[in-house]
């Protein structure tokens, strides 16, 4: 039997909806991973946040003085969107509102692939950790 036009439209609409939801989840994946990583660090759950690190673990633990509100996402190119990659910056605040250090980290497919610490009191100010 020949399918009715209404059935074809319903099937096409359903498939389009599933594809759109899948694409949206792919686009927001790095942001969710970064927020989850910051939450684990702030909670002090070292075993859990180390599982998210694909980069070499830093010589010191990430700062528990991080604030989720200071997490800033950098702009992405189309290739970053397609590969589910994004770079974020977060500041630690151990002295109230003064930022002690700045950390840039890249999320790639649900893992932290690089971390760069900027300390204002170091001679060159930068420590890099990459995979």
pLDDT tens, 81-100? 888 899 998 877 665 555 56
Instruction: Give the side-chain half-sphere CA count within 13 A for 57.
Output: 12
Low-confidence ranges of the chain (pLDDT < 50): 123, 131
List the 126-130 sheet strands across, edge first.
72-73, 85-92, 101-108, 111-118, 126-130
pLDDT at residue 58, rounded to an integer: 57
Structural domain range at position 57: 5-130
- CB-based contact 129:114 (threshold 8 Å): yes
Angle at 101 between CA 58 and CA 84, to 5 degrees: 60
In angstroms, the CA 43 to CA 104 distance is: 20
The number of folded domains in the chain is 1
């Amino acid at each position: 039997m020949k399918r009715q036009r209404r059935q074809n439209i319903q099937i096409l609409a359903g498939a389009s909806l599933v594809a759109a939801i899948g694409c949206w989840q792919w686009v927001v994946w790095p942001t969710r991973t970064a927020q989850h990583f910051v939450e684990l660090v702030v909670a002090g759950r070292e075993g859990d946040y180390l599982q998210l690190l694909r980069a070499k673990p830093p010589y010191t633990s990430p700062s528990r003085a991080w604030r989720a509100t200071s997490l800033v996402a950098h702009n992405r190119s189309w290739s970053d969107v397609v590969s589910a990659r994004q770079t974020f910056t977060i500041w630690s605040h151990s002295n109230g509102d003064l930022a002690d250090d700045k950390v840039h980290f890249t999320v790639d497919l649900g893992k932290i692939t690089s971390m760069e610490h900027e300390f204002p009191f170091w001679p060159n100010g930068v420590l890099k950790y990459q995979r």
